[in-house]
Structure 1
């Protein structure tokens, strides 16, 4: 049985410009680190958080993190949203992103969710400082380089899939966006 992200392996295999490290890591069969990301999008604005510590500190991002043993992907997304922004929301699948780093041992598989409304009041935590941005003022210069590529899909409410290869953690070396799978 194929995994849900075998499309990522096929994408790098068929891309003549994909870096060797991305091809090797995705073809190696190395277990992917499973992560979540939630972006609240009320139609005119997005709620992002300034990461205060840990991986990605100093970047604006959605709210999310790793899937713990025994959790579903959506349960992890809900938990992370509550832990990082103090809110809950009815989540909708928005897309899947696969990241390969030349300096990280395993690829990442990030399941992205969105919600148009939420319960609670966004509040700063020890990890994130929530802030609203209009769609025209999303701070891409203070975000991961890949965000500029996939955010337009998110803002248009179009399901997306993408593969991104980074050198030295933060330098985008290659990417591809793929059409949604037939069952998404």
Structure 2
């Protein structure tokens, strides 16, 4: 989930991951779906757990697959957009929330795929893509396409 202020200041809320997979990178808020949860419920829960804010609106903008050469199971990540929320972002043991102006998004401190899909996200577009990594953090190839909107069905063949 990425909280995005679309007013005059146009800024986004990212979290500096403090521990676990992705530590040291700025990222949106999210995680695994718990048994009995929908993807949407998991996105809302993770935002609350990691930043202490509650999204009041939520729109799915993208679906991304991540394939790592050192992990046999691809990851499917759903990217949600929220413009309204309640609460004040607070640091947790997992994430340190920071507001960034769109012009100052720290792509050099983020996953290598982000620079590719964030322009679509910030432009209000829907998208899907696949990103292939070696040695966990080195992006070796990707595919990315704008789509008409949710639910972003996957084609029978890879992108």
Q: Are 1:74 and 2:35 matched, yes or no?
A: no
Partners of 1:133 and 1:183 in 2: CA distance: 27
Where does the alignment leave 5 or more consecutive residues of structure 1 unmatched? Answer: 1-37
Q: Which residue of 2 aligns with 1:102?
A: 69
Greater share of strand: 2
SS at match of 2:19: coil
Cα offset, 1:179, TM superposition: 3.0
> Aligned to 1:121, which of 81, 88, 94?
88
1:152 positional shift: 0.3
In the aligned structure 2, how far is the partner of 1:182 from the partner of 1:59?
A: 28
What CA distance in whole angstroms lies between the structure 2 residues aligned with 1:152 and 1:93? 15
For residue 58 of structure 1, report the CA deviation from its aligned partner.
0.3
Distance 1:183 1:159, change over 3 A: closer
Q: CA deviation at 1:178?
A: 1.8
Normalised by the size of structure 2, how large is the TM-score? 0.90
Give aligned pairs, total: 147
Question: In 2, distance between residues paired with 1:80 and 1:94?
Answer: 17
**1:50 maps onto 2:13 in alignment:** no
2:118 alignment partner in structure 1:
151
**Residues 31, 42 of structure 2: 8 Å contact kept:** yes
Unaligned runs of 5+ in 2: 152-159
**Residue deviations 1:118-164 (CA, integer Å, cap 9, x gap):** 11110000000000000000000000000000000110010011110
> For the aligned residues, what is the CA RMSD?
1.1
Out of 43, 46, 49, the residue aligned to residue 83 of structure 1 is 49
2:60 pairs with one of 88, 93, 101: 93
Aligned to 2:157: none
- Report the Cα distance in structure 2 between the residues aligned to 1:151 and 1:117, rounded to whole angstroms: 19
Cross-structure match for 1:62? 28
Q: Distance in 2 between matches of 1:153 and 1:182?
A: 12
Q: CA deviation at 1:68?
A: 1.0
Using the alignment, how far apart are the partners of 2:97 and 2:44 within structure 1?
16
